[in-house]
Amino acid sequence: MCGLVGYTGKRSVVDILISALGRLEYRGYDSAGIAINQNNELIVDKSKGLLINLQKKLAGQKYEATSGIGHTRWATHGEPNEQNAHPHISQNGHIALIHNGIIENFGKLKASMSDILFKSETDTEVVVQLLGKQITTKSDGNHILRVISEVCQQLRGAYAFGIMVAHIPDKIFFAKKGSPLIIGCGKEENFIASDIPAVLPYTNKVIYVKDNELGVISPNKISIYDFKLQLKNNIIKDINLSPQQVLRGNYSTFMEKEIAQGSYAMINTITNLIKGKILQKIPLAKITDFSNIHIVACGTALHAGMIAKFLIERECRMSVSLDFASEFRYKKPIINKKSLCLFISQSGETADTLASLELAKKQGAYCLAITNVLGCRISQIADYVIYTCAGPEIAVASTKAYVAQITALYCFIERFAKVNDIKIKYDKQEIARLAKKLEDWSTVLEWKNLIPQMCQQESLYFIGRGLDYYLAMEGALKLKEISYIHCEAFAGGELKHGSLALITADSLVIVLLTQKELIDKTLNAIHEIRSRGARVILITQFTYLKNQVDFIITLPAVKDILMPFVAIKPLQELAFLCAKHKGLDPDKPRNLAKSVTVE
Ligand code: F6R
């Protein structure tokens, strides 16, 4: 949510800011803006809606500035319009500020500044006005840092700030607590950004700014301090990513590319686990000597967690509790020093997952994070991190990251079983072989004729049992998220307990059936549905069932326990095809952001 970027160097800054914001578009936004420093004067341009609107506004302007800040805003306080878009400017026009996060005590701070005429409804403007009260045209860099530190210490909430001061044109100030912020280290140029793709075309060297740090960049210098203004070491990391990895390439959308990259995500994740002996490094006592296991996540990551819960319970015979992070953090969970808690998050920034992790840590649990983003906030707090290696996921709807999450979870459970002397039905080499087998397999052609009629439905229903139920939930989430068709997933056995009332002769129901032991039971549900006149699309490897349904999507047959890796692809492809058919952009669903950094 919100993309933030800052540049100081020798190049023309406007193009750099716009293209960097373009690479952060995936985070979700509804307005955009920049502030540049031209001859010691701050020039601000903002637009509602897509970045292209801002670009149009800037077209024809001949700016020569070589430093500036830019922002894409996802509205929290105040509607998406130009006034509320960032950057915000202090009343004296001397300071410009961009912000990613939420200032919780902004109301109280605002009330204390009766002399200020606030121009926006945002929480952010309070911060720039507080700075503006103390930073004058005479302030030097040290004084500015001191003021930023003092103001930050008055704030409650989360923030990453980029700040420009009119009379110091080549410097960008920053501060961070709770929201992501990196510094891109270039040659005679430096950047700040909320994520790596923003800076990738210019540099692979980054510094992860930590919480409660602030500092300043100029073209040739980076200085980072704690809030007491003690200088910190700059730990520069080389990022092993090419700019191509964050481009669409020959695909029409990122989502299409990322669905196709599912096998790559599986192989990369397994290779990394094996090469780095990642699972062997988890202290043995932590996976043998515990009293309870919790899995906590949101959305798609939670659906991956459901599969893990099922496998640990089914294969290892240990009970697992699973919660939405937004529920876990408020339910006073039963956690102690012998609890093992697993937090799954692609972005590693999700506010509820983060808060749940902090809570579990505080109560002494051993916390394992499964995340896709190197150095993310969750990775900094957890006791141990298992990275999924799906590569950057740009489309808002999670696809390859889900596949990588279940890969990491299957591998973790294999290790978990091994150290507890439990024999299970698969190993990671089989998963790697399966990934190869799935590389060129797609169901796009099988779906093609069905898509127009599916897009006409007011509601679509997904059903399944066991592992298939968890997949049904993920299929329904993906489809509703990007096609805006109402979808619901039901556990096959639950139909009769209420949901069957929704099924009419006009209904279209997608049934998942990948587990041999459940064929008869799921067929019962299919008969119940079809006897109401509804049509059934069956996703299965059991092709002999085709006469019992209206349409069939055929899956390659592999061991039942590994079928989630297979069955997820047609569900992702279905969602993608429906969005395309309806003329929607699958990469940027309305109202949604890639990383949900607020509650
Ligand atoms: C759905 C989707 C979301 C995320 C959820 C958690 O396609 O992407 O449901 O899975 O917001 O995000 P992370 O995994 O970043 O914590």
Question: Of the listed 257, 400, 569, 594, which one is catalytic?
Answer: 594
What is the C-alpha separation between 327 and 305, in angstroms, rounded? 15
Tell whether ligand 1 has an atom less than 6 A from the beta carbon of residue 354.
no
Residue 295 has pLDDT above 90, yes or no: yes
What average pLDDT score do residues 108-127 get? 95
Give the alpha-carbon dihedral of 348, 349, 351, 353, to 10 degrees. 0
What is the C-alpha separation between 308 and 466, in angstroms, rounded? 12
Residue 14's CB: how many other CB atoms inside 10 A? 24
* Model confidence pLDDT, tens digit, residues 408-423: 999 999 999 999 999 9
CB 171 within 8 A of CB 216: yes
Cα angle 473, 296, 414 (rounded to 5 degrees) comes to 85
- Residue type, position 35, single letter: A
**Per-position DSSP letters for 153-172, written without gaps between them:** HH--EEEEEEEEETT-TT-E
User: What is the atom index within ligand 1 of the atom nearest the CA of 347?
Assistant: 15
Residue 461 has pLDDT above 90, yes or no: yes
User: What is the atom index within ligand 1 of the atom nearest the CA of 300?
Assistant: 10
* Model confidence pLDDT, tens digit, residues 499-513: 999 999 999 999 999
Query: Nearest residue CA, atom 9 of ligand 1?
Result: 299
Tokens 């799954």 correspond to what residue? Answer: 344
User: Is residue 564 reached through a cis peptide bond, with omega within 30 degrees of 0 on the bond before it?
Assistant: no
What is the C-alpha separation between 96 and 105, in angstroms, rounded? 21
CB 305 within 8 A of CB 296: yes
Residue 27 has pLDDT above 90, yes or no: no
Tell whether ligand 1 has an atom less than 6 A from the beta carbon of residue 258.
no
- Residue type, position 271, single letter: T
* Model confidence pLDDT, tens digit, residues 242-251: 777 888 889 9
Q: Torsions phi, psi of 171, nearest 5?
A: -115, 140
Tell whether ligand 1 has an atom less than 6 A from the beta carbon of residue 597.
no
Tell whether ligand 1 has an atom less than 6 A from the beta carbon of residue 399.
no
- Residue 284: the pLDDT is 85
Separation of CA 71 and ligand 1 centre (Å): 22
* Model confidence pLDDT, tens digit, residues 513-570: 999 999 999 999 999 999 999 999 999 999 999 999 999 999 999 999 999 999 999 9
Instruction: Ligand 1 pocket test: pick from 298, 343, 394, 594 the residue with the most ligand atoms within 8 Å of its Cβ.
Output: 298
What is the C-alpha separation between 376 and 234, in angstroms, rounded? 17
Cα angle 375, 401, 417 (rounded to 5 degrees) comes to 90
Query: Nearest residue CA, atom 10 of ligand 1?
Result: 300
Residue 124 has pLDDT above 80, yes or no: yes
Work out the pLDDT band at 587, boundaries 50, 70, 90: very high
User: What is the atom index within ligand 1 of the atom nearest the CA of 478?
Assistant: 7
CB 368 within 8 A of CB 345: no
97 DSSP 8-state letter: E
Tell whether ligand 1 has an atom less than 6 A from the beta carbon of residue 596.
yes
Tell whether ligand 1 has an atom less than 6 A from the beta carbon of residue 25.
no
CB 541 within 8 A of CB 489: no
Q: For residue 134, give the nearest of 118, 117, 116, 147 by alpha carbon.
A: 147
- Residue type, position 42, single letter: L
User: Which residues lie below 8 Å from residue 289, measured CB to CB, with a gap of 6+?
Assistant: 338
Tell whether ligand 1 has an atom less than 6 A from the beta carbon of residue 476.
no
Tell whether ligand 1 has an atom less than 6 A from the beta carbon of residue 371.
no
Is residue 114 classed as helix, strand or coil in its secondary structure? Answer: coil
What average pLDDT score do residues 260-288 get? 94
- Residue type, position 200, single letter: L
What is the bridge-based pairing of β-strands 95-103 and 88-89? Answer: antiparallel
Question: What distances in angstroms separate CA 4 from CA 12, 29, 202, 461, 465, one per listed residue?
Answer: 18, 11, 16, 39, 43
- Residue 29: the pLDDT is 86
Query: Nearest residue CA, atom 3 of ligand 1?
Result: 299
Tell whether ligand 1 has an atom less than 6 A from the beta carbon of residue 398.
yes
- Residue 249: the pLDDT is 87
Helix (H) or strand (E) holding 3: strand 3-8
- Residue 77: the pLDDT is 84
* Model confidence pLDDT, tens digit, residues 76-111: 888 889 999 999 999 999 999 999 999 999 999 999
User: What is the atom index within ligand 1 of the atom nearest the CA of 595?
Assistant: 15
What is the C-alpha separation between 193 and 98, in angstroms, rounded? 11
Separation of CA 346 and ligand 1 centre (Å): 7
594 is catalytic: yes
Separation of CA 396 and ligand 1 centre (Å): 8
CB 375 within 8 A of CB 237: yes
Separation of CA 168 and ligand 1 centre (Å): 40
Residue 183 has pLDDT above 80, yes or no: yes
Instruction: Ligand 1 pocket test: pick from 388, 398, 406 the residue with the most ligand atoms within 8 Å of its Cβ.
Output: 398
Tell whether ligand 1 has an atom less than 6 A from the beta carbon of residue 595.
yes
- Residue 219: the pLDDT is 98
What is the C-alpha separation between 87 and 102, in angstroms, rounded? 15
User: What is the atom index within ligand 1 of the atom nearest the CA of 396?
Assistant: 8
Question: What distances in angstroms separate CA 373 from CA 212, 228, 236, one per listed residue?
Answer: 20, 29, 17
Question: Of the listed 2, 185, 389, 411, which one is catalytic?
Answer: 2
* Model confidence pLDDT, tens digit, residues 46-69: 999 989 999 999 998 889 999 999
CB 464 within 8 A of CB 511: yes
CB 4 within 8 A of CB 192: yes
Separation of CA 298 and ligand 1 centre (Å): 6
Q: In 135-290, where does DSSP find H-type helix?
A: 141-154, 254-260, 262-275, 284-288
Tell whether ligand 1 has an atom less than 6 A from the beta carbon of residue 300.
yes
What is the C-alpha separation between 84 and 121, in angstroms, rounded? 6
What average pLDDT score do residues 437-456 get? 96
Share of the chain above pLDDT 90, in %: 88
What is the C-alpha separation between 45 and 264, in angstroms, rounded? 41
Separation of CA 401 and ligand 1 centre (Å): 9
Q: For residue 371, give the nearest of 386, 392, 354, 390 by alpha carbon.
A: 386
Separation of CA 329 and ligand 1 centre (Å): 17
Instruction: Ligand 1 pocket test: pick from 1, 254, 300, 371 the residue with the most ligand atoms within 8 Å of its Cβ.
Output: 300
- The residues with which 95 forms a beta bridge, in sequence order, are 165
Separation of CA 299 and ligand 1 centre (Å): 5
What average pLDDT score do residues 114-118 get? 94
Q: Torsions phi, psi of 304, nearest 5?
A: -65, -40
Separation of CA 478 and ligand 1 centre (Å): 10
341 is catalytic: no
Query: Nearest residue CA, atom 5 of ligand 1?
Result: 299
Tell whether ligand 1 has an atom less than 6 A from the beta carbon of residue 352.
no
Please give the order of strands across the beta sheet that includes 205-208: 41-48, 31-38, 67-73, 3-8, 190-193, 182-185, 205-208, 237-238
321-331 b/e with 16+ CB inside 10 Å = b? bbbbbbebbee
What is the C-alpha separation between 485 and 299, in angstroms, rounded? 17
User: What is the atom index within ligand 1 of the atom nearest the CA of 353?
Assistant: 16
Tell whether ligand 1 has an atom less than 6 A from the beta carbon of residue 299.
yes
* Model confidence pLDDT, tens digit, residues 364-411: 999 999 999 988 889 989 999 999 999 999 999 999 999 999 999 999
Question: What distances in angstroms separate CA 223 from CA 69, 75, 119, 164, 230, one per listed residue?
Answer: 18, 31, 32, 15, 10
Tell whether ligand 1 has an atom less than 6 A from the beta carbon of residue 540.
no
Please give the order of strands across the beta sheet that includes 172-177: 88-89, 95-103, 157-165, 172-177, 213-218, 221-226
Separation of CA 359 and ligand 1 centre (Å): 20
Task: For 266-404, list the strands marked E by DSSP.
Answer: 292-297, 320-324, 339-345, 366-371, 384-387
* Model confidence pLDDT, tens digit, residues 325-369: 999 999 999 999 999 999 999 999 999 999 999 999 999 999 999
Separation of CA 194 and ligand 1 centre (Å): 18
Greatest C-alpha distance within the chain:
82
Residue 164 has pLDDT above 80, yes or no: yes
